[in-house]
Chains A and B, each alone.
Chain A
């Protein structure tokens, strides 16, 4: 049932009559592949909202073409086109005189769906956004919290299963906690119902979190169009670098998982292995201790660090605590946080059975962030 369309903007320009200076949008060329989330971002007045509204013809371009699945939006009557494009705006714009259920049913009603189908669809969507259809369907928008209203706005936009969704700063009018929840909800929904999404934001953290690709705009022009990790690691120019912020290295941390980063093998002592054999393996280069320490396992899956120096001098007789144990699917951000919290330089990456598979320290985290940008395709625009 879920569908997604390819969205293509070809040399789209919007010039306002009588407006001096540069056009609102200049020669914008952009392809959003089916099912991807493209976040348009930039300072206010950069043309991101204008670009968005040209897709559903709320604003008509001065020149250029916009295609959905190869078909020009200009060939369709605006009202008919808009019923196939989900639209979510910052102020939500729920119809205050209609119940939540009737709001969600707006587009299916315009499309002439029969009553049972609409009722079933409304219940399905309210379930999906976590509102009980029995309880909330009958309410009016004024009886909902801000976050609930924006969820209903999202459900309403999804009602007729549109292949393309346009979202104009949908989460910027709510408090930070609600915003984080809405973002998580959106990502969950997007996995369940993959749509081609154009999402306008002025918040780089939001863009990094939501986007498959980020389109950075400045004064009507596209400055960089690339996956978030690449925009953070390799900004196209000083403007983008400045826009993403001086802490961009930190912003990219949660985009990368430990399993995507090359990690040194754990210096694991085999059960019953004599110390001399361990020293011999180290000398051969088969094993690299971490800060002069090796990993031991007690056979029951418990790990610990053994400091070879202190063992040799007889200072240490039992292994130290293993420090943070991290799963391969943890993000670099989680890894760094664990290291800082535990006050240690290295953590052990363990697989699902608790077996050590790698070692992670600040050095590996840094290399992972730098590599993420370098490994991605070169930036366009």
Chain B
């Protein structure tokens, strides 16, 4: 059994490709929605002890629910398919994103904030022109972490018909008497996808934060 069946891979190249694209869609759509939800929450709760504790507490509880149970809970509400899978993945990503947004905003040096207000920036301008750009490294670190873990958790989405690389591992592998080849293919594709997405985000962050590199630049 412990042998990779290369002929299976070449026969099923189309399916592997389709599942990979499905997986990428699951990961990017859910991370995108999670970012859109979590950043405003992070902005709203930063610097306020009780709201921060509440938001991270709720997101923290969601984070601890085992993924098998989570998708089982979502089944009666959202049925099966892409939507419940995305909902579950969004809920998992919230904790890291809310936390990193709030912590990143709180990390803006008080003198920078004071000078900005003192120069006549409105509260909205302070947020958009000063605080969010300066919190960007922390927010990006959160997005990277959330995205990489979503790639892994998304393999479980197959159980509620979410498709993705999970169907190679589960439907083609485990359900067919632990047929090794699709399991390995699914795992390798997921790993490669996680590494590639992480690298992409690192590049994006470097482009968005040119000042962070200036520290070690010429003087």
* Chain A residues within CB distance 8 Å of chain B: 56, 58, 78-84, 87, 89-98, 106-107, 110, 139-140, 142-143, 153, 156-157, 166
Contact = CB atoms under 8 A, between A and B. Distances in A.
A107 B115 contact: no
Interface of B: 109, 111-122, 125, 130, 133-134, 209-211, 214-215, 217-219
A91 B111 contact: yes
Contacts of A96: 109, 112, 134, 211
Contacts of B113: 93
B120 A94 contact: no
A58 B118 contact: yes
Contacts of B119: 82-83, 87, 106-107, 110, 156-157
Given A142-B211, A142-B214, A93 B112 contact: yes
A156 B49 CA distance: 35
A140 B214 contact: yes
Contact of B114 (A78, A84, A93, A140): A93
A65 B173 CA distance: 79
Contact of B133 (A97, A153, A166): A97
B111 A79 contact: no
B204 to A, nearest CB: 16
A58 B122 CA distance: 12
A95 B211 CA distance: 10
Contacts of A91: 109, 111
16 contacts: A58-B114, A79-B122, A80-B120, A81-B120, A83-B120, A84-B120, A87-B115, A89-B118, A92-B111, A92-B115, A94-B115, A95-B116, A97-B134, A140-B215, A143-B215, A156-B119
Contacts of A84: 120
Contacts of B133: 97
Given A93-B115, A94-B115, 17 more contacts: A83-B119, A87-B115, A89-B115, A91-B111, A93-B111, A95-B112, A95-B116, A96-B211, A97-B133, A106-B119, A106-B121, A110-B121, A140-B210, A142-B215, A143-B215, A143-B217, A166-B118
A84 B118 CA distance: 10
A56 B210 CA distance: 33
A151 B113 CA distance: 19
B117 A58 contact: yes
B120 A79 contact: yes
B211 to A, nearest CB: 5
Contacts of A95: 112, 115-116, 130
A97 B108 CA distance: 11
B195 to A, nearest CB: 28
A111 to B, nearest CB: 9
A92 B134 CA distance: 16
B117 A82 contact: yes
Nearest to B216: A142
Nearest to A106: B119
Nearest to A156: B119
B109 A93 contact: yes
In the A-B complex, list the 7 residue pairs whose CB atoms are closest, starting with the nearest: A93-B115, A91-B111, A83-B120, A82-B120, A87-B118, A93-B111, A140-B214
Contacts of B215: 140, 142-143
Most buried by A among B119, B122, B211: B119
Contacts of B114: 58, 89, 93
B207 to A, nearest CB: 13
B18 to A, nearest CB: 42
Contacts of B115: 87, 89, 92-95, 153
Contacts of B217: 140, 143
B214 A139 contact: yes
B73 to A, nearest CB: 42
Nearest to B134: A97
B219 A143 contact: yes
A91 B122 CA distance: 21
B126 to A, nearest CB: 10
Contacts of A93: 109, 111-116, 118
Contacts of A140: 210-211, 214-215, 217
A65 B87 CA distance: 56
B117 to A, nearest CB: 7
A140 B115 CA distance: 17
Contacts of A78: 120
B105 to A, nearest CB: 14
Contacts of B214: 139-140, 142-143
B134 A143 contact: no
Nearest to B118: A87
Contacts of B125: 110
